[in-house]
Structure formats: C-alpha cells, structure tokens
Structure 1
C-alpha cells in the first residue's frame, strides 16, 4: 500500500475501501502498474502523477459514452445505420419491430464502436480510468415483456473490461439506465414521459442488477482487480428542476429506500463471497452538489462506508460569464468539494449553446486553441484539488457530432486537449 494524497489510513470511514494505486495496484498485461510513479519511470512511460502526491496518482479517466447506452445526440450515425429515427435505444428497438434484427444490429455496433487499440491509446494519453455507463437490460432476466432493448450485450461488456485490464486501466461501472428510467432523458435508454424508477418494484430490479454486477466484479477474471467501483444510479431527478414536480418525494424515496437496500445488497453479496473489507468495492452515489439530497443520510454502517461520490460539471450550463476569460476564471475558481471522496464523473469542453457555433468559439480555429487548452487545464486542476480526487471526461468517442469538445480523441487531434495531462500545471491557465 502506498502513502498518497487520499490519506485513507487517517480516516476510519474509508480505511479499508480501495481505489487504484492506493490499496490495489492495477497492472497492464505487460506487468506495468500505470498508477505507480516508480513503475512508470522504470519502464520509461508517461508519468501520470502530480509532483506533490508521492507515489499515487489521481483518477484521470474518460467515459465510454454511447458504447452500451446509445444517445442519438452524440452518436447519430449509430441509429441512422440501423434505420431507426429514434432518440433512445428503447424507441429504436421498438421501431424495428424485429427483436432478432435489433439484437444483430446492436451487436454490430458493439463490435465496431471500440477495439482493444482504443484502450491502449487511452493509456498512452495518460488516462488511467474508464467509466462505463451500462443499462439494467444487460441483465436480460430483468427486462419485462413490455420493455424493448437489444440483447446480447453482456459478452461485449466483459470484452471491454478485459481490454481495460490488458491496458492497465481502472474501471468504474455505473447504472446509467435504471429500471423504469430515473429521468426523462435518453441517457436512461428510454424516453419515459415521467421517471418510473422511484418505486419498490424498480428498486428491487436495480438491486438484482447490482448483485449481478458485484458478483462479476469479484469472480470474473477480467473484472477482478480491474472494476473497483459501482455507481448506484446516474443523474437521478434534481430538486428544483421544473421537469420534476415530485422530485423531493422521489429523491427522499431513493435515499431512504433504494440507497440502503442497494448498499446492503452489495455488501451481503461480498460477504457471501468471503470478500475481505480490504477487497470491497467502492459504492458511488451522486454528490450532494447534484441536489438530490444528502446521499449519506440513510446509509447503514456509517462507521465503515467505502463510499465514493459522483459529481458532474458541465460549465456550459452554469452561470459562468460567456467569454474566454469568463470561462477560465470560472474553472480556475471552481471548487467541487462536497462529499468525499468525489470524482467529477462527467465534464466536457462544450460551451454555451448560444455561442458554440460562432467563429470565436470554433475549436478547429487556430485562434481559439490556446483558450481551449488552457480551459482544459483549468478544469483538470479544479477536479484534482480539495475533495475532488479526479475526473472522467465525457466522452471517448462520438459519431456524427463532429465536435472535439465532446470527444477526447478528436480533442487530442484538434490540439485542444493536452496529450500530456501533467502539462495542465505548467501552461499558465490560471496565472
């Protein structure tokens, strides 16, 4: 175990939970531990750590958006290639009216969206983590006859985790699409007119999914020592959002009923598998900044949490002054402290929708690239300080969108994302 910035041993609430490089080392197939500075130096590889944090690095990751939960806005060519004019997977499969065809078509997407080389490339860019959004329908026994989703995805999820393992990447798997839909957005896999997740029937289905995923994390060869964190639900309704007049009751229900049940489900499964406390998974919930209430309020076993928190920060939707300097100033002063430890699990370089297509904000215009590089750096520094232990950019790949502000690979190629992440601390973004 390495001494590191998280100082888990000084905090009894988190003493036996594990994060990469802190309590377990995540090794590439070559034997290189990409979370350890000494190992990196020994093999002449990119150093993924900050000067002040000893032998341990921050979480620096990327999302695999639209790999297993396709969103049309960022992957329009996927649905168009399937001949379904849809916004969500449920709608696409329903419109095809042929389950076997839908299964085959989506399997074609899963086979082509990413390859093993993508994960090697992530590591070469200094990334050490992948966050994988998954829908509940990947456990096909949970899907009701009235629900329409593609089948056969589990083996591709297993393959993706194996590729991450081979590249030495830490994996966060989160329930992105919950049973009944936790919000009225296509990221849930369906466009329900109102969120249907917040009842005992769907909590029960979600807990079965979590038990299944916990078992895989501790028994499947690709997952062991690779998957270290499970997210209970992505972006539930927010108190104060005008789309959700019942948000207070829904979030109260989620925190008082679902979170404790989910917590107990995961820990009971680990106990049944004889997993020691040192080997237990981190359980991730939305940070209190998300405004769904205090995630800890009803948790059991409050003296031994093994908890982590998910914070999403899309500056384009904030009150930041809409100018290059305004965005830099906002991110340089941004403080993501809230619950601890928190990972900024989603963020991007996208800007206010009113100006995103203006020439002054064009990411392919050489005159703007210095701004985007500095803004990338400013966000990196904000998400690696205080109670924030790192970040996962949204997203690794897009199709049809053609905007490098949402696409890590395109951002590298466009010169607006730093190929060496540590340069964020030396280019003077906040000076």
Structure 2
C-alpha cells in the first residue's frame, strides 16, 4: 500500500512538474521561456475588437461600447445592430491579422476583452449565448500556429474599474465598492483560468486595465483597495490554475504603483505600466524602474503609442535599455497610429455626424437620424474596410518601433 501511494504521488508530482515546465516563468526582472531563454515582450494590442472604443472610429461623444451600441440601435435598429456586431467580431481580427503580427517580428499579443463576454448580459449582439470562449479560442489557435504568446486583459470589469469610457462603465469604478461586482470579477477569472489552465500559448492573465482614473475625490481611498481586489482575483485563479502568470497594473492609467505593499502574496505575479506622451527617457519612467527594482519582478509596458515616429523609436530604445518589454496600442484603427489602418468608408462622416448629435429625446433622435438604408450600407462598407486584406500597413510606424513591416 505504501509503495502504491509513493508511486502515485511520484507520478502526480512528475506530471505537475512537466505541465509547469511548458509555461513562461518569472526570473527576477526577466521572463523565461520553457527552454530557459529570456522573453523580452514585443508586440501589440487587439484593442477595439472585443471592447469597442469610439475614438478609433472617429467618434468623440459616443466613446464607449455601450454608447456605440445605443447610437447604432437608434440609427438602424437593434436587430441590424446585432447582426453588425457579429460581422464585426468575425472580421475585425482574423487569422490573417495574427499571421501579419508574427511577420513583423512580434512575439506577444495582448487581447483586451469585456467581462460581459462571459455572462448572459447584453453585449455586442448577444445575451445568453455569449461567445467569449469561442472568440478567445480562435486567437489562441492562431497564436499557437504562429508561435505568439497571448495575454488576456480584462479591459472592462464588472462595475467598472476605471470610471471612464475605456471600461465601458457608468462613470465611477464601482468594482471597488460592490461585493456583487467583486464576486462576478472573481467568478469570471476563475472560469477563464479553469478553461485555459493547461494552455501554454497564454502567457498571463491581466486582472484589470488602468484601474481608478484620477478624477475622483476619494481616489486615495479607492487606491487603498486596489491590491486587495488583485488578491481576490489571484486567489480565484489559483483555485484552479497554478501555471499562469498574473499581471497587476498600477492605479491612475497604470502609472501609480504606490498602492502595492505586498509583492510576495503570489509566486507568479508581474506588473504592467502604461505611458502616452511625455519625454521618451529613462527619467520619465523612473518611477516604473524604481518600483520594478524594489520588488525584483518583471515590469512591462502594456500600452504605449499615439506618438510621432521619432518619439516611439526613442521610447523603444529607452524601454529596451531598461529591460521593459512592450505591446503598442493599438494594432488596428481608423487613420493610422497603429500597425495597420482602416480606411473610413465613403460617407462615414454621416455616421460620425449622427454619433455627435444630441439624442436625448425621441424627437432629437428622429431629427438627427439619416436615411436608414444608406446608413446600413455604410456600416456594411465598414465591415469590408476592416478586413485585413483592405487595411493599409503603416510601414513607418512599424519601422519606428523596431519591427518589420514586410
């Protein structure tokens, strides 16, 4: 009996070690591949695909997923809007996009997603039959085929973690004050981790994107709750998955790391910073470097971009000199400042004009609404324009960040 138990425990231990050996590891400031080679993150974000943002479509007022869905429903009706979102998800990111990202020399893709993709809440044309796992499964399959790692980023959390358009919230980070939202946050991460626990293509789970915008009078009170929320999410993941790294972003646009007091609560955590604008120098990101050095864990620039080519080239040099990997934001949008650009379809300004119009009353909606048939055609033209074969490769942009455009 003792021999049997010893043999069984040995087999279990060996199996666990073999499974664990397939995954990216943390080694001080560095990430290491299963072969023991250093992994310096270079890549991009699939923003706007599963978490639409208005500015990438040239909208100003209509700047979040909820607002866009409401505007489209007012414009062409809810049924056509639901059909539009399915076509959007089918065509915005495909195998061709992932293949191209690999060809540039990238090694990592960050995938922002909305928590509603894993609930029965109304989102992007679906309710009870949400397709979060199906969509991510496709990207996992494509990344595996191309040899890319994937970071799963909860960009929009239950209740909202930012309190702005980027988390598709109601203007406040209710996640930090709602036990129901916190439970749902943990339940979704547990569900995702259980599903992908044995998938080595996934590099890490990024629990929250840009928590706690700097607008709120009780910002410090909210900041004091951040690490506790991260611990709850990590605990939920570890109940089912001990293989994957967990990424924690700083407060205030991933720029403030003072809320972190305990870097030892889990053996597989790393941190993520973001930067838009500012000088492309080590001095400008010294707070990120100092924090990284103090905890002796990896720091990675999860979002950076929207600058001139010279600025981006200088910032890439600074990040590489200071061992901070990066994923530029975003991969695809209208009018460039991205790996590839979507050319707005003819008469796109018609849609933009409606999105900017005052639509508080039903009369205002009726008065602002353009011809529905023409509007539907424009939206279908957008679906065609977003396909990779019709995108414009931004060669100067890709060259500026040290990758290959072709």
Q: Deviations over 1:358-394 (max 9, x none)?
A: xxxxxxxxxxxxxx2x433321122223352x10000
2:321 match: secondary structure? coil
1:332–1:379 CA contact under 8 A, matched in 2: no
Taking the TM superposition and a 5 Å limit, the aligned residue runs for 1:93-132 are 93-95=69-71, 96=73, 100-132=79-111
Instruction: Go from structure 1 to structure 2 and tell me whether the alpha carbon gap of 1:260 and 1:92 turns closer, same or farther (over 3 Å shift).
Output: same
Partner of 1:363: none
Partner of 1:40: none
Partner of 1:382: 318
2:330 match: secondary structure? coil
Taking the TM superposition and a 5 Å limit, the aligned residue runs for 1:101-180 are 101-141=80-120, 143=121, 150-151=125-126, 152-154=130-132, 155-180=134-159
Partner of 1:350: 307
Partner of 1:194: 172
Instruction: Go from structure 1 to structure 2 and tell me whether the alpha carbon gap of 1:308 and 1:186 turns closer, same or farther (over 3 Å shift).
Output: same
Mark the runs of 5 or more structure 1 residues left unpaired by the alignment.
Answer: 26-35, 37-54, 80-84, 321-327, 352-371, 424-431
Partner of 1:364: none
- TM-score between both structures, scaled by the size of structure 2: 0.69
Question: How far apart, CA to CA, are the structure 1 residues paired with 2:401 and 2:226?
Answer: 40
Q: Deviations over 1:64-115 (max 9, x none)?
A: 01010000101348x9xxxxx8322223334527665443221110111122
1:110 match: secondary structure? helix
1:343–1:383 CA contact under 8 A, matched in 2: no
Q: How many residues align?
A: 316
Question: How far apart, CA to CA, are the structure 1 residues paired with 2:284 and 2:218?
Answer: 33
The CA deviation at 1:414 is 4.4
1:395 match: secondary structure? coil
The structure with more helix, counted as a fraction of residues: 2
Question: How far apart, CA to CA, are the structure 2 residues paired with 1:200 and 1:282?
Answer: 25
Partner of 2:207: 232
The CA deviation at 1:304 is 4.7
Question: How far apart, CA to CA, are the structure 2 residues paired with 1:149 and 1:253?
Answer: 31
2:333 match: secondary structure? coil
2:113–2:156 CA contact under 8 A, matched in 1: yes
Partner of 2:248: 285
Question: How far apart, CA to CA, are the structure 1 residues paired with 2:400 and 2:104?
Answer: 6
1:376 match: secondary structure? helix
Taking the TM superposition and a 5 Å limit, the aligned residue runs for 1:220-259 are 224-238=199-213, 241=214, 243-256=215-228, 258-259=229-230
Q: 1:63 aligns with which of 17, 30, 45?
A: 45
Bigger Cα displacement from structure 2, 377-386 vs 66-75: 377-386
1:421 match: secondary structure? coil
User: What RMSD over aligned residues (CA atoms) do the two structures have, in Å?
Assistant: 3.2
Partner of 1:341: 298
Partner of 1:307: 269
